[in-house]
Amino acid sequence: MKPVRSTPRRSVTWPMKPTGRRVWLVLHVSLSMGWLGGSYAMLVMGVVALSSTGKPLRPAAYELLHISDTAIMIPGSLGALTTGLVLALYTKWRVLHHWWVVTKLVLTVFAMIFGYAYTAQGVKAALAATLADPGADIGSLEPGLLAGSVVMLVVLFLATVLSIMKPWGRTGWGRGSRSRSRAVAR
């Protein structure tokens, strides 16, 4: 016969009060939507830069892209990741217990790495080339930056859809913790 626990097992997560949860959720949604909006703005500025070859507007568009990257994209991505992790750790969703949370985390980390390694570096290279000569031929860099902006938009839009729809159910860890909590309750 198994000994009966007098106190329930401690949960891996720490409960968050409803007011605190709402504050963190508002921060998370605001930062995530700012990141998505910044990505859209970068796409628009990339189109402006591409269509203004040889004009003084071209380096200005790349300068705005660089400013948007450092002032909107980086803080937005770090803030969205941080607030998302806080919500996952301190609420019922947890980090590894639901497939949509795991997928959204992977998409967020991918978008951050892609944004830094590809988009930010491309913007810096294009800005340096066009400051010296607004009509400089920068080859496939401009279409690549547009494609990178589209990739970012798609990834961030998918993360938004996952947040709203919450598909796919629980992971193995989520199913396991659920059955353990039911066993303790009996």
Instruction: Quote the Cα angle for 112-117-119, to 5°.
Output: 85
- 99-117 pLDDT, tens digit per residue, is 999 999 999 999 999 999 9
> What pLDDT shows up at residue 16?
86
Whether the pTM exceeds 0.85: the reply is no
Residue 99 located in a structural domain: yes
Please answer whether residues 66 and 124 qualify as being in contact, where contact means their C-beta atoms are separated by less than 8 angstroms.
Answer: yes
**Residue 156 burial (C-beta neighbours within 10 Å; 0-12, 13-18, 19+):** buried
- 107-162 pLDDT, tens digit per residue, is 999 999 999 999 999 999 999 999 988 888 888 888 999 999 999 999 999 999 99
Cα–Cα distance for residue pair 54/25, rounded to 1 Å? 45
Please answer whether residues 108 and 80 qualify as being in contact, where contact means their C-beta atoms are separated by less than 8 angstroms.
Answer: yes
Instruction: Find the domain containing 125 and state its range.
Output: 18-185
Please answer whether residues 38 and 68 qualify as being in contact, where contact means their C-beta atoms are separated by less than 8 angstroms.
Answer: yes
Residue 138 located in a structural domain: yes
Average pLDDT, the chain: 88
**Secondary structure letter of residue 98 according to DSSP:** B
Residue 7 located in a structural domain: no
Does position 53 have pLDDT exceeding 90, yes or no?
Answer: no
Please answer whether residues 184 and 9 qualify as being in contact, where contact means their C-beta atoms are separated by less than 8 angstroms.
Answer: yes
Residue 27 located in a structural domain: yes
Does position 184 have pLDDT exceeding 50, yes or no?
Answer: no
What single-letter amino acid sits at 39?
S
Terminal C-alpha separation, the chain = 15
Residue 5 located in a structural domain: no
Mean pLDDT, residues 86-103 taken together: 91
> What pLDDT shows up at residue 4?
58
Residue 13 located in a structural domain: no
Domain count, the chain: 1
Structure token digits, residue 107 = 């998409």
Does position 178 have pLDDT exceeding 70, yes or no?
Answer: no
Please answer whether residues 184 and 4 qualify as being in contact, where contact means their C-beta atoms are separated by less than 8 angstroms.
Answer: no
